[in-house]
Amino acid sequence: MGDLSNKPGRLQRAPENFLTEEQVKAVGAGRRDFMRKSFLAASAAMMAPVAARAVEGDPEILNLPPWSTTLGLPVATNPYGQPSKYESQLLRRESPGLTRVGGASVSFAPLQGLFGIITPSGLHFERHHQGWHDVDPARHRLMINGSDPAFLKKPKVYTMDQLMRLPSVSRIHFIECGANTGLEWGNVAVPTVQYTHGMLSCSEFTGVPLKLLLEDCGVDYKKARYVLAEGADGSSMTRTIPMEMVENGEVLVAYGMNGEMLRPENGYPLRLVVPGVQGVSWVKWLRRIEVGDKPYATKDEAVHYIDLMPDGLHRQYTSVQECKSVITTPSGGQRLLEQGFYNVSGLAWSGRGKVTRVDVSFDGGINWKTARIEGPVQNKALTRFNVDWVWDGKPAILQSRAMDETGYVQPSYGQLRAVRGTKSIYHNNAIQSWKIVESGEVSNVQVL
């Protein structure tokens, strides 16, 4: 891990800065032993004051630094603002354990270094089936048609200018790839939360409700019960969306993300936003919407994003992302400096609505403490939780367990595997465990 003592304040936030070569190599390679529920907790410590790091006579406070005694840089030195050079290691990263095929790959968001619920646009995860394009908005079109003329009376082709004149809404939602946490099904020891859970981001999206566009084109809701969305990239990404999701006004044809136009990697200039549904349905570079009377069973829904069950059959169209949570600080690859107080922080979300409660365990699931939820809690958005913890220097296993407004409780690995087996890739929402040893090092373990 190298010398961490000269990096105060960084330890909990950016473990990737300190990931060793061996840890990087271990991604996708290692297997680990399952921990048993018999793990015994270290006894609860008394509340201790946070140890002051700066020693008396610290020159950093006694002497004026250069930035207090020289002229600063003028405004607009960076016309488009950039993060501090001291934050240059906080990056989305490709997992060394996954193979890139052409432009098709994933980059993971550095959840361990983020605060609140909004993912900065430049750190939003990426998943491309065939690489990305910076599409010319002047040449981009959205066509809306029906598979039968009776389903939609007036098929139309919209330009970006036409779309952006229509009434718009802005809403905060999470997007999670159905394959997020996928390597954990096979008990692969992925070292950090960036790689276990980083196919997850949350933004404020701006756009036109798809319902408004379909009605503009004269949809007949009685006949047209499904929507097919198609992307303009070489993967011809196509996904079926049930009409109920559109009729409630939640599905957006979005051009804005976090107050500016979408980033090219995230579908500029137009993408579908399907709140609560796995990322693959959020078709990027959206070029066509077709309405029909049955699911389309396209390649992206017949071969990919289906759940292999223990009996050898596949479950299809399990698109809604069930309630899930993860502790982001402290998390795998980080190291606690010393005993004492820590703010344990994480993210919870549910594709079925709002998160209502998050409980945290410090002893591998034996005892639970209800965390503070940061409001306002938004529908189908990431929700930040925090909980106070005094580490007594003894081994501990940290877990979080979220609940949503339907009453659903995030399952343990034992509960999830009892239904789903171990052969799946997609839709793993099990409770994540981080083990802390006496040295303060945090690693990824599984508790059944």
Residues that bind ligand MTE in the complex, under the rule CB under 6 A: 124-129, 175, 177, 231, 233, 235, 237, 265-266, 279-280, 282-285
What is the rounded distance in angstroms from the CA atom of residue 108 to the CA atom of residue 177?
10
Residue 402 · residue 325 · CB < 8 Å = yes
Nearer to ligand MTE, 201 or 331 (CB): 201
DSSP-assigned beta bridge partners for residue 370: 359
Nearer to ligand MTE, 18 or 285 (CB): 285
| In the complex, residue closest to ligand MTE by CB | 231
Beta strands in 94-233 (DSSP E): 105-107, 126-128, 141-146, 156-159, 169-176, 200-209, 226-231
Nearer to ligand MTE, 273 or 436 (CB): 273
Q: How far is the CB of 300 from ligand MTE (least distance, A)?
A: 8
Does residue 258 come out as left (phi exceeding 0), alpha (psi in the -120 to 50 range) or beta?
left
Q: How far is the CB of 138 from ligand MTE (least distance, A)?
A: 19
Q: Which two tokens stand for residue 435?
A: 């083990």
Q: How far is the CB of 20 from ligand MTE (least distance, A)?
A: 28
Nearer to ligand MTE, 108 or 342 (CB): 108
Nearer to ligand MTE, 124 or 417 (CB): 124
CB burial of 398-414 (b: ≥16 within 10 Å; e: otherwise) equals bbbbbbbeeebebbbbe
Q: How far is the CB of 125 from ligand MTE (least distance, A)?
A: 5
Q: How far is the CB of 239 from ligand MTE (least distance, A)?
A: 8
Q: How far is the CB of 128 from ligand MTE (least distance, A)?
A: 5
Q: How far is the CB of 258 from ligand MTE (least distance, A)?
A: 12
Q: Is 21 exposed, middle or buried (0-12, 13-18, 19+ CB in 10 A)?
A: exposed
Of the chain, the end-to-end C-alpha distance in Å amounts to 29
- Residue listed under structure tokens 């400096």: 337
Nearer to ligand MTE, 177 or 398 (CB): 177
Distance of CA 415 to the CA centre of its chain: 23
Q: How far is the CB of 233 from ligand MTE (least distance, A)?
A: 5
Q: Which two tokens stand for residue 106?
A: 């994933």
Nearer to ligand MTE, 266 or 432 (CB): 266
Q: Which two tokens stand for residue 54?
A: 């700066």
Q: Is 45 exposed, middle or buried (0-12, 13-18, 19+ CB in 10 A)?
A: middle
Q: How far is the CB of 349 from ligand MTE (least distance, A)?
A: 14
Nearer to ligand MTE, 35 or 104 (CB): 104
Nearer to ligand MTE, 180 or 356 (CB): 180
- Count the neighbouring beta carbons within 10 Å of the beta carbon of residue 30: 16
**CA-to-CA separations, 429 to 130, 279, 328, 363, 420, in angstroms, rounded:** 27, 15, 15, 20, 11
Nearer to ligand MTE, 16 or 233 (CB): 233
Q: How far is the CB of 41 from ligand MTE (least distance, A)?
A: 37
Q: Which long-range contacts (CB under 8 A, 24 or more apart) does 141-144 make?
A: 141/287, 142/213, 142/253, 142/270, 142/286, 142/287, 142/288, 142/289, 143/287, 143/288, 143/289, 144/213, 144/214, 144/217, 144/288, 144/289, 144/290, 144/291
What is the rounded distance in angstroms from the CA atom of residue 425 to the CA atom of residue 185?
7
